Amino acid sequence: MSLELLTAGKLLEMALGGIVGDAASEGAKLLWRTIKNRLLKNQPIEAEIIELEQNPTQEKLKPLEPFLQVEMHKDKLFAEEISKLAREIANASAGDTITTGEIKAETGGVAAGKINADNSRFGGSDNHYHLLPY
């Protein structure tokens, strides 16, 4: 699958919406969890992630950007999947909904998550399955 990848900075900006509490969409929460889990697994930046979650601002995103860029460069499938998820979030209009089910994976495994997105422009429901690194 060849998909134009979003930049690490843009992905983190969209994921910031998944941190800010009750106003966060389920899609943004899923995007943040996916990015966070990948960074915690492979990068030495736990303190920066904790700081961001305690004080979610644009400035707190910047230290994470080069680490996410490394992960995207190392694993193109991961980069494509989070870019695709971010595009689905961006394309969701005010009346659209994105629902997610529970996602589980064993250590070192891959989680499969199903996203149901109603999109009134197409008059139906799109079901998308995504492989997410755990």
Q: Is residue 83 part of a domain?
A: yes
Whether 19 is covered by a domain: the verdict is yes
Weakest-pLDDT range from 43-52, 88-97, 123-132: 123-132
Report DSSP state, residue 64: G
Q: Using 50, 70 and 90 to split pLDDT, how confident is the model at 26?
A: confident
Q: How far apart are CA 65 and CA 11, in angstroms?
A: 9
**Residue 75 forms part of a structural domain:** yes
Residue with tokens 């910031």: 16
More confident of the two residues 122 and 103: 103
Mean pLDDT of all residues in 115-128: 43
- Is 104 part of a structural domain of the chain? no
Residue pLDDT, tens place only, 75-108: 999 999 999 999 888 887 444 454 555 444 444 5
For residue 115, report the phi and psi dihedrals to the nearest 5 degrees.
-120, 125
Whether 116 maps to a domain, the answer reads: no
Per the structure, the count of domains in the chain is 1
* Residue 113 forms part of a structural domain: no
φ and ψ at 34, to 5 degrees? Answer: -65, -50
In a domain, 32, yes or no: yes
What range defines the domain where residue 30 resides? 8-94
Span 4-25, average pLDDT: 81
Quick one: angle between helices 26-42 and 76-91, nearest 10?
160
For 90, residues 6+ apart whose C-beta sits below 8 A from its C-beta are 14
Whether 120 is covered by a domain: the verdict is: no
DSSP 8-state secondary structure symbol assigned to residue 118: E
What pLDDT does 24 receive? Answer: 59
